[in-house]
Chain A
Amino acid sequence: MQRLFIILLAFVIFGYSVYFDIVFASFPSSSNYSIRDYTFGGGGTANSSSTNYKINGTLGQVEQGGLSSTNYQANGGIIYVQQAYVPPAPTFTNPSNWYNKLNLVLNNANNPSDSQFLIAISPDGFVSTTKYVQADNTINTTPVWQTYSAWGGGSGITIIGLTPATTYTVKVAARQGNFTQTGFGPTASVATSNVQFSFSLSVYSVNMGNLNPGSVVSSPSITSTISTNANNGGLVWISDTSSGLYSASTSHTISAITGNLSTATEACGIQGSSVTQTSGGPMEIDSPFNGSSNNVGTLTQIPTAIFDSSGQPVTSGQGTFVMKAKASNTTPSASDYTDILFVIASATF
């Protein structure tokens, strides 16, 4: 029974280690343990402690000094040997014109999977500011240690809540239990982009020509273009001065409606006709401007969203629309029917 127990226990531990990929040192080592260094010294203490501190000390070991080059350092003594492997510089990138977040992938430097890592980050190269990446990927002043897996493993994490147009520098330390913390490894730097937004219109005037009674007439097309890296994309809004086409000479308004001009006696409105983008988005036409045939959306003096980029950053997101109008045989004759359209845009950062 005792033999069976030992065999079973060994099997469990071995199976766990294979699954979670514990690395065993090659020599000297046993199935479950590796000894990185061994010597015979004059004594020491493995883990003396008080309320707030612990000490791990040895006698007869090298206590200071080391060898170093530009990129490498080697210290002496068993204290140094029992430390975790110093993590190399992480992969730190801005993959998509981000303004308030950056990607980071740790290099675990062959540390065991139960090793933990601390990510320090600074907007000034650690000259005066040092913060730490938190478990929720924001940054704060509290050091947070997590395993490589918790820090996203090979996929890494996206650090959020950063400041636009700022170069951030990161460095990583590792540990595997008490008295094993390394110093910080080499740094990596990358900059967040600045917030970006651009907007333009294709034309500033359109002439609908003659409105024949009973016929629906469309204006020439009007196109708005937006580009933004805003996380929540952009919006294009429309409003007007007269809620329709107004003739000052006759004091008559062909009123804007939301509805079908085919069945209306006299009315006008706006219809989104197409959307496109170079990347991102996609752009979409918002109700009530997304009708077909002669269905239009009304105009008021309160801006109403006509296009949006589906809540995503977009490059050269275009939205095209027309004004449609229908006169009746009693619509007063005049050559000065006019409406002023205000097309504006915004982005949600």
Chain B
Amino acid sequence: MKKNLLLSSKNLNAAKVKLTLRYLAVIAVVIFLLVSVNIQVHATTQVPNAFVRFDVMTTGAAVKTGLVCYEPNGTESSSTTLTLTLPTTPNAFVNGDTTAANWTTSITNLPSTIFGVSTTGVTITGAHASSATSSTLVFTYTGGMTASKENCFYFSDSGAGITLPAAANNYTGGSIATSPSGSTVGYATAVIASPGNIAVTATVGPQFSFSLSGNTVALGTINVLTGSTNPTIGTAITGTVSTNAANGWTAWIQSLSSTAAHLGSASSGGTIYNGAGGTGQAYNQGSNFFACSNQSASTCYGGYATGTGGTTVDSGYTHSEASGAYYAGTFSTSLVPLAADLAPASSDTFLLYVMAGALVNTPAATDYTDTLNVVAAGNF
């Protein structure tokens, strides 16, 4: 009896478990049905966008170039035609060139982004419009439009272009449409009063600057030209010239000596000319240099120069030393060319060296002196 009772109890518990599971299953189904009624699926759709940029926006002007960009509504893989319709309201933009082949296209140098959206070029069939009327331009392409990108191309007309209305205003009625299976986007633009562009003017005045690095050349004790002694050469004076003169600049030099250029001593009456005779050699542009060597039978006093940048030294002052002989250019008591540049210069320089050599019979004195005048001017 007890065993039978035990068995019955087990059976009863198993039955209770099964029943509980069934109840729970029903509840679960009910819950599922109730909840599932309220599950919704929301989809989002991007609206296509487009713009056309006319490269001229002036009243009455002819527009021959521009940029068209179109971003499709999601994937648009089957469209083959883009139609640009010109604005109509309040007045029409009129295309004066209905020869489709004149409206060429290009995807070179496209902006990399438009409002942060990457661009991609649209390769137009034949690189020109397929048709053109007074109010539309039609372009064909293959491969559809790329999603999530601004699909762009430039257009350019070799003919009369699009004539803008004569009134400054805002204009609507234009559209950019792709087909088949594409979209139409209306656009507005504006026309502004002539000239519609901005003229920027400026002046650059004549400029000239000139300076010398010093105004004293201390030759010290002038060498006597005997044996192996060469003439004394002083420390260079640097002349610096800057100018925007279209034809450059010229520098001149003169000795302010009363007679031929020379170093003179008031105390001793001694004179040092550049060359033989009482006044040395005469100035002769291009050949006024005098060989001043340790074998000279005459004193020498003159100079030579070197130049930097575009500076050209006058031929009479280019020689300094060759084969043991020093060549001193003769100073004139008139202003004569020293150096020049034929083009505008920024800090052109010339270095002026003064050279002198005495003889054994040149009177001794400490006051041999001369004054050189160096001037420059721009050649405007």
Contact = CB atoms under 8 A, between A and B. Distances in A.
B188 A160 contact: no
A164 interface: yes
B377 to A, nearest CB: 14
A347 B51 CA distance: 6
B111 to A, nearest CB: 7
B81 to A, nearest CB: 19
Interface string B187-209: 11110100111111111111101
Interface residues of A, number: 93
A338 B202 CA distance: 6
A250 interface: yes
A338 B198 contact: no
Interface in A207-232: 207-213, 217, 219, 222, 228, 230-232
A209 B16 CA distance: 103
Contacts of B116: 311
B336 interface: no
A211 B202 contact: yes
Contacts of A206: 198-201
B164 to A, nearest CB: 12
Contact of A136 (B31, B44, B55, B200): B44
Contacts of B102: none
Contacts of A233: 115
Query: B31, B57, B202, B209: which has the most chain A beta carbons within 10 Å?
Result: B202
Interface string B53-80: 1111100000000010100010000000
A332 B196 CA distance: 30
A140 to B, nearest CB: 11
A127 interface: no
Interface residues of B, number: 69
B294 to A, nearest CB: 44
Contacts of B172: 164-165, 194-196
A13 B246 CA distance: 98
A1 B205 CA distance: 108
A123 to B, nearest CB: 14
A303 B53 CA distance: 10
A210 to B, nearest CB: 5
Given A195-B188, A209-B203, A329-B242, A346 B53 contact: yes
Nearest to A249: B246
A210 B203 contact: yes
A222 B199 CA distance: 11
B244 A12 contact: no
A333 B380 contact: yes
A207 to B, nearest CB: 5
Contacts of A80: none
A5 B242 contact: no
A342 B55 contact: yes
Contacts of B51: 230, 232, 235, 346-349
A343 to B, nearest CB: 6
Contacts of A328: 244, 346
A230 B69 CA distance: 14
A340 to B, nearest CB: 5
A245 interface: yes
Interface string A232-243: 110101010000
Contacts of B109: 302
Interface stretch (A62-70, A88-96, A143-151, A180-188): A143-151
A205 B199 contact: yes
B346 A334 contact: no
Interface string B33-51: 0110110111111010111
A77 to B, nearest CB: 28
Query: B19, B43, B203: which has the most chain A beta carbons within 10 Å?
Result: B203
B202 A208 contact: yes
Interface in A102-151: 113-114, 135-138, 146-147, 149-150
A197 B189 contact: yes
A82 interface: no
Contacts of B41: 135
A345 B50 CA distance: 14
A20 B203 contact: no
27 contacts: A1-B19, A8-B27, A16-B31, A136-B45, A138-B45, A147-B38, A147-B40, A161-B73, A165-B172, A199-B57, A200-B190, A200-B192, A210-B205, A230-B188, A231-B47, A233-B115, A235-B115, A332-B246, A333-B207, A337-B203, A338-B202, A340-B200, A341-B197, A341-B200, A345-B190, A346-B51, A349-B51
Interface of B: 16, 19-20, 23, 26-27, 30-31, 34-35, 37-38, 40-45, 47, 49-57, 67, 69, 73, 109, 111, 114-116, 170, 172, 183, 185-190, 192, 195-207, 209, 242-246, 344-346, 380
Given A16-B31, A333-B246, A344-B55, 9 more contacts: A204-B199, A207-B200, A303-B53, A330-B345, A331-B207, A343-B198, A345-B57, A347-B51, A349-B186
Interface of A: 1, 4-5, 8-9, 12-13, 16, 20, 99-101, 113-114, 135-138, 146-147, 149-150, 160-161, 163-165, 194-201, 203-213, 217, 219, 222, 228, 230-233, 235, 237, 239, 245, 247, 250, 254, 302-305, 308, 310-311, 323, 325, 327-349
Instruction: List the 3 closest pairs (A to B, CB-CB), nearest first.
Output: A197-B188, A330-B344, A136-B45
